[in-house]
Amino acid sequence: MRFLSIGECMAEFAPCGTPGTFRMGFAGDTFNTLWYLRALRPDIEAAYFTAVGTDNISDSLIRQMQVAGIDTSLILRRSDRTIGLYLIELADGERSFSYWRNMSAAKCLAEEIETLTEAIAAADVIYFSGITLAILKADTRGSLLETLRQAHAAGKTVAFDPNLRPGLWPDPETMKTVVMSGASASNIVLPSFEDEALHFGDADPGATIERYLCAGADRVIVKNGPHPVAFGHQGKRDTVPVARISNIVDTTAAGDSFNAGYFAELDRDIPQHDMIAAASRVAAKVIQGPGALVQL
Ligand code: ADP
């Protein structure tokens, strides 16, 4: 299986003890998922598609991906831009985030559509998110969605996490319209119920499943924090319980690692229920460690 993840990876500055001191790492939803997938399945070819700069910090990001076994050969380099950055601050145990990403190179990832089309053509499974769509300009976003639709029609597996982030969109209506187009280009949709209820007004996970199935997806898996995961697939609707975790350290990347756990089972001929149970076990480990990238 050759897996391609498309999106943005940023430099992360996280507080480390002494006030005013930060540790730099790299994170981003589609990157986190790929990093976990590679950790779970070193036998899978895992490639990342994004755009970065030609400066030192972009080189460091590429090196970190390569150390993790990720294929970086498709990543675009732009001398006029660099990677985005975010800073985490802690006040009374609450984390707050500041972002510098308006000029990030990743916003241009779909500008060389031939390169992107070739990358998609070479993959068996293609993964993207609502954040991938949010950072692009409307015209290049349209080109990416069209290429994904064609890949889906050609029999490839296209997987999408809506990852609703209203702050990245001009208005909630645009976010909802584009996210539904993302789902309609996909076979597998992996939403998180809390976000879906807030922005789409879904009364329960079943409503989220029906909405994305109606958009054209054929498999919808709805994550819901500590509550059972609900899924819809080929006329079947069911839920899978999630283990109770008593020592939660940090829920960052719970959804991203869950997705990786699910993708790690894609090429094994096992029931949905078992794929989802495996995905929940991965997320359970991740929320018991600090930060986005936890050694499994
Ligand atoms: P997101 O990170 O996208 O908001 P969720 O919070 O729904 O996603 O969590 C994704 C998965 O992580 C859940 O389906 C579950 O398997 C696991 N998880 C998250 N929070 C908890 C929790 N409090 N207890 C147990 N498992 C959890």
Distance CA 80, CA 209 (A): 42
pLDDT (tens digit per residue) in 195-245: 999 999 999 999 999 999 999 999 999 999 999 999 999 899 999 999 999
Task: Tell whether the model's pLDDT for residue 27 goes beyond 90.
Answer: yes
Q: What average pLDDT does the segment 4-27 reach?
A: 93
244 contacts 255 by C-beta, under 8 angstroms: no
Point out the residues that are catalytic.
256
User: Would the pTM of this model clear 0.80, i.e. be above it?
Assistant: yes
Q: Encoding tokens for residue 94? A: 């609450």
Could you tell me what percent of the chain has a pLDDT over 70? 100
Distance CA 16, CA 27 (A): 16
Distance CA 142, CA 3 (A): 22
- Distance in Å, CA 72 to ligand 1 centroid: 29
Residue 18 binned pLDDT confidence (cut-offs 50, 70, 90)? confident
Write out the E strands in 50-163. Answer: 51-52, 76-77, 85-91, 94-100, 125-129, 157-161
pLDDT (tens digit per residue) in 138-184: 999 999 999 999 999 999 999 999 999 999 999 999 999 999 999 99
Q: What average pLDDT does the segment 82-109 reach?
A: 91
> Which of 129, 208, 221, 287 to probe ligand 1 with, by most ligand atoms within 8 A of CB?
287
